[in-house]
Structure 1
Amino acid sequence: MSDRIDLREFIGGFVSEAEELLASSHALLTEIDAACVAGTLRPTAVRDLFRALHTIKGLAGMIGVEPVVEIAHALETLLRAADRSGGQMSRGAVEVSIQGVQAIGERVRAVAEGTAPGPAPEALLIAIASIDLAAVIPDAPPPISPEWDARLAAGERQQLYQALRGGSHVWSLSFAPSAEHAAKGMSIASVRAGLSALGEIIKVAPRTQAGGKALVFDILIISAATPTSIAEAGGTTPASLTALILPAPAPAPAPAATPVVDVTLADPVGHLAPLGRAIVRVDLTRL
């Protein structure tokens, strides 16, 4: 009896999962592409696309489909930079991502048909690597909210900053599960679903209170809905919502004072008539 595992029994499961993830990836790329054309951002779609490709890479690695692993890994690097920038992707990055997902799909179909998948296209890998990631990652945003700054990942901070800079409304609220909420059928899952219908959730962060005996979920959402609608979906009151705003820019530094030099005019010989004393102002910035 052999202890070796026949990975062929996993191929059917791999193909099924990979095809589902690829369909999701195509839909997400369509959303990202439309946002790119419109000049807007879809950070959640970028994040979900990264996760889908990461899962495909892991599944492919389990059964040894290395070309899929190689392509997915290259796309992960690109999408990780886009996530850190708050979802910013150039048209070139979107186009090469579409090509990469199509290439993965071709190799998954080869596995499904029982044929050897082709190697990862060298030209595609070069095209992905040639995307200027430094141009994608902007400067770190300024501190915005003491309550949230330390709880947000780099991409989430960029998402918050870009939303506020673009004039969007961002709200902070908290949901505390309780018997009363449970009787109404409200849970964090239903609250998340209700708020997602009103806008884009940046973060749901759990915390404990009452000495660790109670759980509260703090939620950060971008939404143009009314405070009443947001509070109703979040199981709270409009008065408990906090609107986040960009901090006022720091005042410009005062111009430096022009240096002044006192010069005393004197008779260098000593027998001429006194020349007196005068103050001469010298602008050293012009020397």
Structure 2
Amino acid sequence: MDLFLQQVLNGLTLGSIYGLIALGLTLVYGILHVPNFAHGALYMVGAYVAYFTMVDLGLNYWLAMIAAGAVVAFLSVLCERLVFHPLRHAPPIHDKIAAIGILLFLEAVVQMYWGADFRRMPTPYNEILHFGGLTIPAQRLLIIAGAFGLMGALHLYLKKTMTGATIIAMAQNREGAFLVGIDANRVAMMTFAIAGVLAAVGATLFAPINLVYPAMGHLLIMKAFVIIILGGMGSIPGAIVGGLIIGFAEALGGFYISNEYKDVIAFALLVVILSVKPTGLFTKGVR
């Protein structure tokens, strides 16, 4: 039972990070219908900004997280203004090609300055907590608490603020939102900024127990797309639930079946669930 609960904790850690990254991706898709393949590169940039702030500048962990969120939010808005906005009337394939181009460009810039070496980001929370037979690193608890806290804050922001209401209105009825005077450009920039912050915070939370390297966003963005397809394209609850499903499936499958196949489990699970429910778990979009 202790081993099982340990894997449940690992699954909750993975699932909370997956859900956080998928949230930003599904927000952008649900509102602008842009499959932002560059989201994984923004996650990677967030990790490098946090690493640079902590290691090279000597600032603390929380300032590194704030710096990463600010830089990646600005970079995300810049991508929307300079790349995706001019392509809003172009054929859909152009958005995808442009997103892949941003991904490759950001990876090349990071590799030019930092190289391709694997780096380890330090954390001030090195304590190991023990509850019964469970061994819980403090950083994992921080990941879970931080990710779910940010998800809750996003929910309140969308439900309780006027800006959040405009985002939901754009997602539910784009034409109707235009008719009542909602500024589509402002909503698009805000959505990309929120997605950037989610990616950067997720990277800063996860980097201390993972490695920082230029291609770190590749597998993550593939899993994020699996999650939003699994949960229902554009669905916020679907992104959270899908992230937890994939996280638990990887942790339990990797332990009880084989750790070598844990990354395959997410894609196998996608095939199984979509064969039963082709529209995904949630189908009402952002709400």
Fold shared per TM-score above 0.5: no
Q: Larger relative CO (CA 8 A, sep 6+): 1 or 2?
A: 2
Relative to the length of structure 1, the TM-score reads 0.25
Counting strand residues as a fraction of each chain, which structure ranks higher?
A: 1
Counting helix residues as a fraction of each chain, which structure ranks higher?
A: 2
Q: Which has the larger radius of gyration?
A: 1
